[in-house]
């Protein structure tokens, strides 16, 4: 079942000279983790904003094509240009780059409960969702903390908790780790994997760290200048290492090295992870 279906999408911001998205088409199946990579200015953030309808409903411009979101729980289909953003937000949660820009309440608990109170849910349901969001994001025990006092990784996990409390079946994350140190990045990407694998949440993840995308994504889209230039499984996309390098996409060292060794006839295949590389050259990764 496709939960996201994007067809011939073109978008130009008001007063912009060029289109930021050009003839973009792809689908995402229920439960998939779709990774989006590509150079700066390629249109990744713009694409994220089209997935919960902020474009074209709140940010206007020249919009052509269709983005259709299907709620896997009800089977209901929403064409984003005909659906209000709050309706779409209940199905597609959006997490942005900078956690600080998404946090504005006095405590962790208030931050998570904020959107819930506006939904008109019963007190018990609010508490159930609050507890679940705290638990799954590992923030239990920090309910009373002032969000700016949290670490970067905790702040981003809090932004994710606030989105999760809305109970979306799809989450779109636009470079959620770009402001984080390696510890924070591991925390957040670990949480994203958990949500996808253990909780069946469909994930669209824009991420500069290609190693994570190639390791965990089910499918990968590479964007450049508003267009999808490559699309496929991590293995298929990794086959195009030369194209990726030309675009300025940083490749995982295992892929770089094994790709070079394959070109020279030393290895028969290129691999995506250090573990696979060690196995290939006959050393266990244990
Ligand atoms: N609000 C805006 N108004 C006009 N043009 C914009 C706006 N936001 C983005 N753009 C333009 O749209 C194009 C795509 O930008 P976008 O931010 O979507 O790319 P990106 O791949 O997410 O880049 P980055 O990795 O730097 O975040 C760029 O040329 C950018 O200048």
Q: Is the CB of 20 under 6 A from ligand 1?
A: yes
Q: Looking at domain 2-108+166-240, what is its CATH homologous superfamily?
A: P-loop containing nucleotide triphosphate hydrolases (3.40.50.300)
Q: Counting atoms of ligand 1 from 1, which one is nearest the CA of 43? A: 18
Q: Is the CB of 40 under 6 A from ligand 1?
A: yes
- Per-domain boundaries in the chain: 2-108+166-240, 252-286
Classify residue 144 by burial, with Cβ atoms within 10 Å: 0-12, 13-18, 19+: exposed
CA distance 52 to 47: 10
Number of Cβ within a 10 Å radius of residue 147? 22
Each of the 286 residues of the chain gets a pLDDT tens digit; together they read 999 999 999 999 999 999 999 999 999 999 999 999 999 999 999 999 999 999 999 999 999 999 999 999 999 999 999 999 999 999 999 998 887 888 889 999 999 998 887 788 889 999 999 999 999 999 999 999 999 999 999 999 999 999 999 999 999 999 999 888 999 899 999 999 999 999 999 999 999 888 899 989 999 999 999 999 999 999 899 888 889 989 998 888 877 777 777 778 777 777 777 787 777 777 665 5
CA distance 67 to 27: 10
Task: Summarize pLDDT for 132-176 with one digit per residue, the tens.
Answer: 999 999 999 999 999 999 999 999 999 999 999 999 999 999 999
Q: Are 219 and 186 in contact (CB under 8 A)?
A: no
Counting residues of the chain whose pLDDT is more than 70, the rounded percentage is: 99
Report ipTM (2 d.p.). Answer: 0.97
Give 3-state DSSP helix, strand, coil % of the chain, rounded to 5: 40, 25, 35
Q: Is the CB of 50 under 6 A from ligand 1?
A: no
CA distance 188 to 176: 8
Q: What is the largest CA-CA distance in the chain?
A: 65
């Amino acid at each position: 079942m496709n939960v996201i279906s994007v067809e011939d999408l073109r978008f130009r911001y008001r007063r912009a000279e060029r289109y930021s998205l050009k003839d973009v088409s792809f689908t995402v199946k229920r439960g998939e983790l779709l990774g989006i990579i590509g150079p700066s200015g390629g249109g990744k953030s713009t694409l994220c904003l089209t997935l919960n309808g902020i474009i074209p409903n709140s940010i206007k411009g020249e919009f052509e094509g269709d983005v259709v979101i299907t709620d896997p729980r009800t089977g209901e289909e929403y064409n984003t240009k005909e659906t209000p953003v709050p309706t779409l937000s209940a199905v597609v949660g959006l997490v942005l780059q900078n956690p600080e820009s998404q946090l504005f309440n006095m405590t962790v608990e208030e931050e998570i409960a904020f959107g819930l109170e506006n939904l008109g849910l019963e007190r018990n349901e609010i508490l159930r969702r609050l507890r679940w969001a705290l638990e799954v994001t590992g923030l239990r025990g920090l309910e009373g903390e002032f969000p700016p006092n949290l670490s970067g990784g905790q702040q981003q996990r809090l932004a994710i908790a606030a989105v999760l409390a809305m109970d979306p079946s799809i989450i779109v994350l636009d470079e959620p780790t770009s402001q984080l140190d390696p510890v924070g990045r591991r925390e957040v990407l670990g949480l994203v994997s958990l949500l996808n694998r253990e909780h069946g949440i469909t994930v669209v993840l824009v991420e500069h760290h290609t190693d994570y995308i190639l390791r965990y994504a089910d499918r990968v889209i590479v964007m450049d200048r508003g267009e999808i230039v490559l699309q496929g499984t991590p293995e298929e996309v990794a086959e195009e290492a030369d194209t990726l390098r030309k675009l300025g996409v940083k490749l995982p060292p295992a892929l770089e090295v094994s790709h070079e060794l394959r070109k020279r006839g030393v290895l028969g295949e290129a691999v995506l992870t250090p573990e696979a590389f060690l196995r290939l050259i006959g050393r266990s990764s244990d």
